[in-house]
Amino acid sequence: MRSAMQQYNMIEEGDRVAVGLSGGKDSVAMLVALANLRRFYPKHFDLTAITLDPCFNNEPGDYSALQTLCDELEIPYILKRTELGKVIFETRKEKNPCSLCARMRRGALHDAAKAAGCNKLALGHHMDDAAETFLMNLFNGAHIGCFSPVTYMSRKDITVIRPMIFCRESEPGRVCRKLELPVVKSKCPADGATERQHVKELLTALEKDYGDVRSKIIYAMQDKHIDRWGVGDGYENY
């Protein structure tokens, strides 16, 4: 994480960073890592954790374990209940809900981060997420691209950073198990049955014959400066 943060200048002196804390292993591991990094990172920064509860099946989730974790880490914790679950699965009845859900969650997180006085928002996307997104864009939209390591959202005046882009998906889970960190199981009805899951399985199958395909995709994006993955490219503006 420190390598990614320094290569892409994700943190500047005095930054107030909101951490998107879904309760999954990726966001939990990222929060703990950032909490430890701030003790010795050369640029001082503050953290605030934000959880958006989708209230799937019209039921509020139990995030008390995340509150306890944040208390232990001395990080302010914000829990916002939403109607994401109702809108996506009842009102809109989306057959492919992930894209809409991601856009709505990002918008709500941006607003919550700004309301908390933060100028940056850290999301827990890792290397596997990036490789999968690259292939999904290629297969579905005939587009070569991916989310950027650092993105300045001009409409919201907030910068999104992804400190875990050099981490493999297995690593956050290993950290959570070793440190016995609390992980909140997703109650999303589409969990485990998404297109992303299919692409994940495809990449795993390809790696039997072609080695570490995920890392090769990352290296290719860096080499060709795709979507600001080349070091020194600066911010992507939206």
pLDDT in tens, 19-65: 999 999 999 999 999 999 999 999 999 999 999 999 888 889 999 99
Which is higher by pLDDT, 197 or 71?
Answer: 71
Ordered by start, the domain boundaries in the chain are: 2-237
Binned at pLDDT 50, 70 and 90, residue 161 comes out as: very high
Which is higher by pLDDT, 42 or 191?
Answer: 42
Q: Region 2-13: what's the mean pLDDT?
A: 96
Binned at pLDDT 50, 70 and 90, residue 98 comes out as: confident
pLDDT in tens, 21-32: 999 999 999 999
3-state SS track over the chain: CHHHHHHCCCCCCCEEEEEECCCCHHHHHHHHHHHHHCCCCCCCEEEEEEEEECCHHHCCCCCHHHHHHHHHHCCCEEEEECCHHHHHHHHCCCCCHHHHHHHHHHHHHHHHHHHCCCCEEECCCCHHHHHHHHHHHHHHHCCCCCCCCEEEECCCCEEEECCCCCCCCHHHHHHHHHHCCCCCCCCCCCCCCCHHHHHHHHHHHHHHHHCCHHHHHHHHHHHCCHHHCCCCCCCEEC
What's the half-sphere exposure (Cβ side, CA atoms, 13 Å) at 211? 3
In the prediction, which pLDDT does 193 show?
61
In the prediction, which pLDDT does 237 show?
54
Query: Is it the case that residue 197 has pLDDT exceeding 60?
Result: yes
- The whole-model pTM stands at 0.92
Strands ordered across the beta sheet of 150-153? 77-81, 45-53, 15-20, 120-122, 158-161, 150-153, 236-237
Pick the CATH number of 2-237 from 3.10.580.10, 3.10.180.10, 3.20.20.70, 3.40.50.620: 3.40.50.620
Query: Is it the case that residue 231 has pLDDT exceeding 80?
Result: no
- Percent of the chain beyond pLDDT 90? 77
